[in-house]
Chain A
Amino acid sequence: MPDLSGFEGQLALGLWMTVRLALSSLVIGLVLGLAGAAAMSAPVAPLRWIAHAYTTIIRGIPELLVVLLIYFGASVALMKLAAPFGYTGYIELSPFIAGSVALGLTFGGYASEVFRGAFQAVPPGQAEAAVALGMSRTHIFFRITLPQAWRLALPGLGNLFLVLMKDTALVSVIGLEELMRKTQFAVGATKEPFTFYLAAALIYLGLTIVSMGLLAWMEKRANRGLGRATAS
């Protein structure tokens, strides 16, 4: 165990923030991804254009810039909105919210494509059987189509989540005290960059390994009943 000069607690706080940031970005990203996939195959043309513009923009801009644009852009927008109500002070968006939105937008842009492919791969007969039984569109979506698309989307989404977890480090540039920023504090105070960067690297690696384990478990669960017959 390397000597962390009493910064263990700080790194642990940073790790906790990183995990929270990753999870809240994931939730936003999944919702945006589903909405994006739905819009891409919508019968209304403008919805399709919006969805394609969204995924093109997100995939065409470095994540770091998305984080900065959301953080500073949202502040400007909020101040413009507040001005008519007589408030002229500086409004700052919390780095946690800005970071979650930025990473969620990124995740959602890529996830739209993953979901779209997954929904297309569910055979139409699956929904037809439900339609013929008189099930409502909502039930068909949540009980029949989504669970099957989810199974197909899971490997792709898992990959995106692993990328997302490391992208959380980008949010340190707007001052969120997650693992990367805490590490930089420790480096500044101790002048031992290698020790702390190595410690941070190991923590990110650990997070990735835990996530991969969880994902493998989820995939196994989602594939229940689809593998070979077992002697049960």
Chain B
Amino acid sequence: MEAEADAASAGAADAVLAVEDIHKHFGRIEVLRGISLTAHTGDVIAILGSSGSGKSTFLRCLNFLETPTAGRIHLHGEEIRTRADRAGALRPTSHRQLTRLRARVGMVFQQFNLWPHMTVLANLVEAPRRVRGMPRAEAVEKAEALLEKVGLADRRHYYPAHLSGGQQQRAAIARTLAMDPELILFDEPTSALDPELVGEVLTVMESLAAEGRTMLIVTHEMAFARDVSTRTLFLHDGRVEEEGPPDDLFSNPRSERLRKFLSRLLT
């Protein structure tokens, strides 16, 4: 069965992420109507769309924070094993496999979701220790290096509540990096920030892109999407309306919807 699945995605075998025909229903409402996507190492894919277009739901389906109703997801050629339940929705077959794959995919949330009862350093050390069984000294050393990288070395013993939104989001990015993810999903990482704090987070993300990390970014930051992404997707009504290099999409939008979307945002 796995061989079959592998054969089906032969073209995407060298891809970090291969998504085939993802559908998602909430009750009767179909939020995702068949989205496919392939990401190779170093790809920075910006996902645009107005609210309700399904872009956040799509991202959350990729690590099964939302369970897609149908579709397949491969990470480095390994398919997330699922079966259909009685209601016809997908269920992960092996919780163990899912947990293992999740550990390889990072996620950065709009609301940061740092754990408020732990210091910044403890937030970074937690998953490498509990999930990877990394010795404490090693995890701390790594966490400190990452905090240095996102400019928070002097805040490592602070609790999240004592940091600004921008600092919290940078800490959350560092927490994700602590697991050495092969792919990082960003779910509107700057949407909850005060405008003057957006820049510091985008700068960190830009440096990650420059390192060649593979990233999927749901965002409303058009300038960032245009300048940093290697490919841009425009989602509308649960479908990929338009897709291509950012320059093409932003300069020559083919569809009326994207044109309207851009004119509303860029004026």
| Residues in A lying within 8 Å of B, measured CB to CB | 123, 125-126, 128-136, 139, 143-144, 147-148, 151, 222, 224-227, 229
Contacts and interface: CB of A to CB of B under 8 A. Distances in A.
Contacts of A128: 65, 109, 113
A132 B130 contact: no
Contact of B65 (A123, A132, A139, A143): A132
Given A225-B159, A225-B161, A131 B65 contact: yes
Contact of A129 (B99, B101, B109, B130): B109
Interface residues of B, number: 32
B103 interface: yes
Contacts of A222: 117
Interface string B98-138: 01111111110101011111110000001100110000000
Contacts of A129: 107, 109, 113-115, 172, 175
Interface in B2-19: none
B176 interface: yes
A147 B109 CA distance: 21
B63 interface: yes
A125 B162 CA distance: 19
Nearest to B114: A129
Contacts of A125: 109, 111, 113
8 contacts: A123-B113, A126-B113, A129-B172, A130-B115, A132-B63, A132-B105, A133-B103, A134-B104
B80 to A, nearest CB: 13
B170 to A, nearest CB: 15
Contact of A133 (B116, B117, B131, B162): B131
Contacts of A136: 99, 130-131
Contacts of B116: 148, 225-226
B179 interface: yes
Contacts, number: 83
Contact of B176 (A133, A225, A226, A227): A133
Given A134-B99, A229-B161, 13 more contacts: A123-B111, A126-B115, A129-B175, A130-B127, A131-B63, A131-B102, A133-B102, A133-B127, A133-B131, A134-B103, A134-B104, A136-B131, A225-B119
B49 interface: no
Given A125-B111, A143-B126, A147-B117, A134 B161 contact: no
B117 A224 contact: yes
Contact of B102 (A132, A144, A151): A132
Nearest to A225: B159
Contacts of B127: 130, 133-135
